[in-house]
Amino acid sequence: MFTHEDLARLQAQSLKMQGAIRQQTYSPEHEKTLRRFSSWEVGELIFKVNQSTLRGRLAADPSLPQGQVEEDGRQRWYSLDEINELRRKLKVNRKSLMPPRPTGKRALRAAIANFKGGAGKSTVALHFAHAAALDGYRVLCVDFDPQATLSHSMGLSDVDEEYTVWGIMARDLIHETERMNAAATGAESGTALPRRQLPAAVTDMGLADLRVADFIKPTSWPTIDIVPSCANAAFVEFASAQYRHMNPEWSFFAAVSRYLDQIPDDAYDLVIFDCPPAIGYQSMNAVFAADVLYIPSGPGYWEYDSTTSFIGQLSEALEDLARFRNVPAGTMNLPKAFTDVRFLLTRFEPNNDLHRAMQSAFGKVFGDRVTEHPIEMTRAVEQSGRFLSSIYEIDYRDMTRDTWRRARASFDRAYEEFRDHCVAAWEKVN
């Protein structure tokens, strides 16, 4: 016979062992680590300086990080921390190796958004984050998609739902409701504004006490952090609708924007959002917080169709928000205005006539809003995607070097264009 007491005893036993058992089943291969980068990559692909110049400089100054020699013995291999130290300490031809960043500005926020699943959003977000980190930037990713592709790709598979965008939104609801109630109490008049009472189910979750940093998790890249998502966060859309009902004056769409405003301006350079394939509370938070909107699209006719309907629906949703009445004082401006909007073709095959025709159609319709460099369809990304890694993380010795280089070159070109747009937009950020 087993009663609830026996079950409770079994649970207590299990809880005691939980940590130890998890460690046994979580094999070390699952713990993501970042590889080192060869002196060839550091010179030619990362710093873009002459390799023998770089070797000479390193040899002349033993206080600089010297990397490690691997078994093949020919090259030195550097960690990203070492690369960043070199970047800070070295000047080549009197030029700094630090990437451009306007002084006194907060991090630039870019949303990778489209309602079409499979458009390449998560792949673009992952590769841009990695390319930016190799370019010397400090990156914060925010995963708005409960499918959590980006979080999994960055090695986060064990996430509590309260530490996701949902937690940020619920915490914001509590804080904003308190602020509104305090303002209502403070207002001297007989026409006191109604006080809003949130149900204990919301206020007792302990979310109000979480600090800004609690939502930010480190990744295997020393200069990339992430606000992760998890499959359990799939209920967020449903919960958000209820929250809005509890306090209709709550500017629900600005929760993540307000959250990001609390991060010190100089903590990061770029914030990259991976968006869910649907319009809703989470995607509205993403686009509302974004300075730059990047819209990836596949190169087919149906993808052109759904991208068209995406911008239509987005426009309607933003027009709706523009009518929002209770705009809190601060940085929130309505209507929402992006500093830049671009379309990026993905999974593009340069030798495919249909793809080229669609590229020119995109160009005719959207003009210079279409980026010059599409992201090409590559086997390397298909393969590396299966291992939840970017082309930057894959060691080129594990692949045909040409295949790796072609794939990387395509992402590099698209990233550099993205970076140039971001740097231009940055000047216009508060």
State the residues that interact with Mg ion by CB under 5 A: 121-122, 149
Q: How many residues bind ligand ADP (CB under 6 A)?
A: 17
Tokens of 375: 């992201």
Dihedral angle of Cα 175, 180, 181, 185, to the nearest 10 degrees: 140
Q: Which is nearer to ligand ADP, 213 or 231 (CB)?
A: 231
Q: Closest Cα to residue 64, out of 383, 218, 47, 395?
A: 47
What 3-state class would DSSP assign to 288? helix
Determine if 276 is a binding residue for ligand ADP (CB under 6 A). no
* Shortest Cβ 151–ligand ADP spacing (Å): 12
Alpha carbons 109 and 272: distance in angstroms, whole number: 6
Determine if 350 is a binding residue for ligand ADP (CB under 6 A). no
Site string for ligand ADP, 306-345 (x = CB under 6 A): ----------------------------------------
Query: Could you give the maximum distance between any two Cα atoms of the chain, in Å?
Result: 82
Please select the residue that binds ligand ADP; options are 81, 382, 398, 402, rule is CB under 6 A.
Answer: 382
Among Mg ion, ligand ADP, none, what does residue 377 contact (CB within 5–8 Å per kind)? ligand ADP
* Shortest Cβ 241–ligand ADP spacing (Å): 24
Whether 343 contacts 307, CB under 8 Å: yes
At 38, give phi and psi (nearest 5°).
-75, 160
Q: Which is nearer to ligand ADP, 130 or 347 (CB)?
A: 347
Please select the residue that binds ligand ADP; options are 347, 373, 408, 419, rule is CB under 6 A.
Answer: 347
Rg (CA), the chain: 24
Identity at 231, one-letter amino acid code = A
Whether 176 contacts 251, CB under 8 Å: yes
The residue range among 1-9, 72-80, 115-123, 307-315 that interacts with ligand ADP, by the rule CB under 6 A, is 115-123
Q: Report the residue closest to Mg ion, judged by CB.
A: 122
Determine if 118 is a binding residue for ligand ADP (CB under 6 A). yes
* Shortest Cβ 235–Mg ion spacing (Å): 18
Among ligand ADP, Mg ion, none, what does residue 123 contact (CB within 5–8 Å per kind)? ligand ADP
Site string for ligand ADP, 122-141 (x = CB under 6 A): xx------------------
Among Mg ion, ligand ADP, none, what does residue 382 contact (CB within 5–8 Å per kind)? ligand ADP
DSSP class of residue 98 equals: S
Query: From residue 362, how far is each of 26, 119, 346, 375 by CA, in Å?
Result: 46, 15, 12, 14
Among Mg ion, ligand ADP, none, what does residue 300 contact (CB within 5–8 Å per kind)? none
Q: Which is nearer to ligand ADP, 223 or 410 (CB)?
A: 410
Q: Report the residue closest to ligand ADP, judged by CB.
A: 385
Whether 298 contacts 344, CB under 8 Å: no
Tokens of 215: 């939502």
* Shortest Cβ 122–Mg ion spacing (Å): 3
* Shortest Cβ 313–ligand ADP spacing (Å): 16
Before 228, cis peptide (omega within 30)? no
Please select the residue that binds ligand ADP; options are 36, 121, 336, 342, rule is CB under 6 A.
Answer: 121
Please select the residue that binds ligand ADP; options are 84, 149, 240, 307, rule is CB under 6 A.
Answer: 149
Alpha carbons 276 and 240: distance in angstroms, whole number: 15
Q: Which is nearer to ligand ADP, 285 or 378 (CB)?
A: 378
Residue with tokens 């998609």: 145
Residues pairing with 217 in the sheet: 226
List binders of ligand ADP among 178-237 (CB under 6 A). Answer: none
Q: Closest Cα to residue 47, out of 76, 81, 79, 84?
A: 84
Q: Residues in the site for ligand ADP, rule: CB under 6 A?
A: 117-123, 149, 277, 346-347, 375, 377-378, 381-382, 385
